[in-house]
Structure 1
Amino acid sequence: MVDNEIDVRIGANLRSLRIRNNLSLGMLAEVVGVTESRLLAFERGESRIGAALLSKMCSVLNVPPFAFFTWLSDQSASGHQLDAA
């Protein structure tokens, strides 16, 4: 899996979690301290989310960090692993 695929998956999970929490793009962006366009870039996988921001998003969305990496449990169950960079 290439880096961008990981960013795209994390972004898709971010979008799903945001919608599940009934937050608009603007609302979440304001609470975590980024612009709407920056948050949209995260959701599209065009920008990488740093650890500190991911932690803040977890607090706001009330989820553990693993919620952004749900595909890893699927790979572990099937015996596949991501290569460490």
Structure 2
Amino acid sequence: MGRDDIVDVDARLAARLAELRAERGWTLGELAERSGISRSTLSRVERAEISPTASLLNRLCHVYGRTMSLLLSEVEGEPALLVRAAEQKVWTDTASGFVRRSVSPPHPGLRGELVEGRLTAGADLAYDRPPVPGLEQHVWVLDGTLDVTAQDVRHRLDAGDCLRWRVWGPTRFGCPGPGDVRYALAVVLP
């Protein structure tokens, strides 16, 4: 994905976030209160002056009742039944060392989706709330080691290990190293 593609996705994402707020009739101040994100940051995100981090997007998804995949799919075209590897959408949060590939894009009529996650060694990704309370997640480590904290319990997963749970509170994904980690994440709406 080239720099122009990233800028285009950021611009469409910014417009969709502004549209979601407008649909609800909320001011930036009201959204700031609901999300815990400052008005100035929200304004800069909606004007595509900054690219949102995974943590920030998670907070907004929680407020809007969407998974991150659903939100990202809303800035793309109609999802196809077959998605070739070269056509799968990739989103990068360079601040946290997180790369997210939508393997099976979400569809409004379906509850499940499959995501590939990659974290660089030492990366730590924290979500303070679920995007959708009760969301079912299955994490299957493909390469490397992944630390997952869910429901206040830390789990160390190595290649081949799988952890599943329903997300009700904060979660954390970390890559203790020494190498990067690659994992599959199955997400199922309640």
Question: Which of residues 28, 34, 37 is equivalent to 2:31?
Answer: 28
1:75 to 1:57, Cα distance in 2 relative to 1, 3 A: same
Q: Distance in 1 between matches of 2:5 and 2:79?
A: 15
Q: Distance in 1 between matches of 2:77 and 2:52?
A: 20
Unaligned runs of 5+ residues in structure 1 are: none
Task: State the Cα RMSD in Å.
Answer: 2.6
Q: Which has the higher strand share?
A: 2
SS in 2 for 1:3: helix
1:63 matched residue in structure 2: 66
1:82 to 1:14, Cα distance in 2 relative to 1, 3 A: same
Kindly state the Cα deviation for residue 14 of structure 1 after the two structures are TM-superposed. Answer: 0.3
Is 2:32 the partner of 1:12? no
1:71 to 1:10, Cα distance in 2 relative to 1, 3 A: closer
SS in 1 for 2:41: helix
Kindly state the Cα deviation for residue 8 of structure 1 after the two structures are TM-superposed. Answer: 0.8
- By relative contact order (CA 8 Å, sep 6+), the higher-ranking structure is 1
Q: Distance in 1 between matches of 2:64 and 2:25?
A: 10
Deviates more, 1:65-74 or 1:47-56: 65-74
TM-score by length of 1: 0.75
2:77 matched residue in structure 1: 73
Unaligned runs of 5+ residues in structure 2 are: 93-190
8 Å CA contact retained: 1:18, 1:24: yes
Q: Distance in 2 between matches of 1:82 and 1:9?
A: 17
Q: Distance in 1 between matches of 2:10 and 2:52?
A: 8
TM-score by length of 2: 0.38
Larger radius of gyration: 2
Q: Which has the higher helix share?
A: 1
Q: Distance in 1 between matches of 2:50 and 2:57?
A: 12
8 Å CA contact retained: 2:16, 2:75: no
Kindly state the Cα deviation for residue 32 of structure 1 after the two structures are TM-superposed. Answer: 1.9
Paired residue total: 84
SS in 2 for 1:72: coil
Kindly state the Cα deviation for residue 50 of structure 1 after the two structures are TM-superposed. Answer: 1.0
